[in-house]
Amino acid sequence: MFSLDGKVALVTGGSRGIGRAICVALAKAGAKVVINYAGNEAAAAETLDLVRQAGSDGEIARFDVADADAVDQAIQDIAKRNEGLHILVNNAGISLDQLLIRIKPEELERTMAVNVGGALWCSKAAIRLMMRKRYGRVINLSSVVGEGGNKGQAVYAASKAGIIGLTKTLAKEYASRGVTVNCVTPGFIETDMTTALPESVKEQAIAETPLGRMGAPEDVAAAVLFLASDEAGFITGHTLRVNGGMLI
Ligand code: NAP
């Protein structure tokens, strides 16, 4: 439907879950996909196979998105090797869920460093390159809980609300340079992040979702593909909900 022929895309946390589905969707549309991951090399290699099966080419790049220097070096190398970087999907994320009264300082620091810091450092390195070419698409993964909150997820929700503020700010800063910045807020999606949850929590989440099911990673990937396309060129600073009606 959308063509990304000739485009190079970097997907952080592309080894598993939603990130993997995004890699495949972008590859099916013709983009060359760089799959970032933190530690799970086998999963990243599996995603690369899927990207190739989808008819495109790709490569794997291991770095911690929370490490500003490593991010800067990796993104410069990626752009040099591939003669550019057109699309950045800030998908890597973690959730260390606790009730407020049990949260430890290191849980706050690591969640913010990965979820907010990761998107910020990757955007900084990528947008610096994109603005020179006067073209870029940045898509950030926020969450329904960043908009609506959720018991037991104070730190995660704060980090995902932060992503919405970051998105709107970067959209304003770089619109004049041809770079659009949008975010997607998924609802309850079936991945490693959610399979670990107790059955009762999943049942409750489905009960709160008018469309009556958990989302698939592909549901989110379709929205990201649209925002990455040329057709979405007049959309920036937007928050696109992919939540089955959980929050309207
Ligand atoms: P997931 O299955 O837990 O996968 C997380 C991915 O992020 C993995 O590829 C992991 O790499 C990577 N990652 C984690 N820390 C990293 C770091 N420091 N540097 C680089 N990569 C890192 O997560 P998911 O459910 O697909 O979620 C993807 C995104 O969507 C996250 O931002 C999440 O907050 C958001 N989201 C998810 C849901 C949901 O219901 N699942 C709902 C709303 C929003 P390794 O494989 O190497 O560990």
The predicted-structure confidence for 104-157, as pLDDT tens digits, reads as follows 999 999 999 999 999 999 999 999 999 999 999 999 999 999 999 999 999 999
CA separation for the pair 195, 70 (Å, rounded):
30
Tell me what pLDDT residue 75 has: 98
Tell me what pLDDT residue 113 has: 99
Tell me what pLDDT residue 68 has: 98
Q: Which two tokens stand for residue 119?
A: 């998107």
Tell me what pLDDT residue 110 has: 98
Q: Which of 37, 135, 156, 174 is catalytic?
A: 156
17 alpha carbon – ligand 1 mean position (Å): 7
Q: Is the dihedral of CA 15, 181, 210, 200 positive or negative?
A: positive
CA separation for the pair 200, 185 (Å, rounded):
23
- C-beta contacts of 71-79 below 8 A and 24+ residues apart: 71/118, 71/121, 71/122, 71/125, 72/121, 72/124, 72/125, 74/36, 74/125, 75/10, 75/122, 75/125, 75/126, 75/129, 76/125, 76/129, 78/8, 78/10, 78/34, 79/8, 79/129
Name which residue sits closest to atom 27 of ligand 1, judged by CA. 18
Strand, helix or coil at 34? strand
Pocket-testing residue among 107, 191, 204, 247, ligand 1, by greatest number of atoms within 8 A of Cβ: 191
pLDDT in tens, 182-225: 999 999 999 999 988 889 989 999 999 999 999 999 999 999 99
Tell me what pLDDT residue 1 has: 79
Averaged pLDDT, 214-241:
98
Q: How far is CA 68 from the centre of its chain?
A: 17
Alpha helices in 32-117 (DSSP H): 41-53, 68-82, 105-111
Task: Please state the pTM of the whole predicted model.
Answer: 0.99
CB atoms within 10 A of CB 92: 24
